[in-house]
């Protein structure tokens, strides 16, 4: 009987120890789980979320757009064709060298020759023409800031050339526009040149020193 009671007491003590150990382990595991959850929550709250659909860097265009630039013009400077011009002044017109080039016509007169088509600008002084030529000189046109007298010369019903006479107050000069075809574009290009008509003072010539004549007398 005592033996049975002893065995029962031992069994009860063993069960109590196991239950206590199980409770200790369960409590520790629960505490560890709670601690892990708290750390995870704190990490989520402190991290900054990265928005989706937005690139990390927004590319920017730092190149400066190229603006349209005006062509570099060259100047044609020469003596005016009419004596009404003030002494000491030369006429000046500007032209685009991509469209025109300086040269001489078949008579050796200085001219502007078109690089495209048969279009020539030369100086004109309004010389007389044979009776078979028809002159229409009752026309004026303001081109740019210059008022030109426009003279159309025809022969046998076909337009041969057009003269433009105008000035800026210092010079009065004339230009002749000759063409063979594409008259409209030729006149448009020529009148673009005529918008730039102006004047410049002629350079003052630098006097050159002259040596006096030396007479050598030879005496034997």
Domain boundaries, the chain: 1-41, 74-201
DSSP letter (8 states) at residue 183 = H
What pLDDT, on a 0 to 100 scale, did the predictor assign at position 217? Answer: 63
Say what the pLDDT of residue 45 is.
44
8 A C-beta contact, residue 93 and residue 74: no
The reported pTM is: 0.62
Predicted local distance difference test score (pLDDT) of residue 51? 42
Give average pLDDT by consecutive 10-residue segment, the chain, 220 residues. 47 46 42 45 43 42 48 93 94 96 87 91 83 86 95 92 96 95 92 97 75 60
User: Which pLDDT score is estimated for 116?
Assistant: 86
Query: Running DSSP on this structure, what letter comes out for residue 180?
Result: S
**pLDDT at position 54:** 38
pLDDT value at residue 160:
92
CATH number of 74-201: 3.40.1000
pLDDT of res. 70: 67
């Amino acid at each position: 009987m005592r033996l049975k009671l002893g065995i029962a007491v031992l069994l009860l003590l063993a069960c109590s120890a196991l239950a206590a150990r199980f409770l200790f382990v369960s409590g520790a595991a629960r505490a560890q789980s709670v601690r892990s959850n708290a750390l995870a929550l704190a990490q989520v709250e402190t991290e900054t979320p990265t928005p989706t659909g937005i690139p990390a860097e927004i590319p920017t265009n730092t190149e400066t757009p190229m603006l349209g630039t005006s062509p570099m013009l060259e100047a044609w400077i020469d003596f005016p064709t009419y004596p009404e011009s003030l002494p000491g002044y030369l006429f000046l017109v500007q032209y685009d060298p991509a469209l025109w080039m300086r040269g001489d016509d078949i008579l050796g007169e200085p001219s502007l020759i078109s690089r495209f088509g048969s279009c020539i600008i030369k100086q004109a002084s309004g010389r007389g023409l044979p009776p078979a030529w028809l002159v229409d000189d009752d026309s004026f046109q303001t081109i740019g800031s210059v008022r030109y007298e426009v003279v159309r010369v025809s022969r046998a019903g076909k337009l041969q050339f057009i003269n433009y006479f105008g000035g800026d107050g210092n010079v009065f000069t004339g230009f002749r526009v000759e063409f063979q075809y594409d008259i409209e574009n030729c006149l448009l290009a020529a009148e673009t040149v005529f918008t730039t008509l102006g004047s410049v003072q002629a350079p003052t010539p630098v006097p050159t020193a002259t040596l006096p004549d030396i007479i050598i007398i030879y005496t034997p």
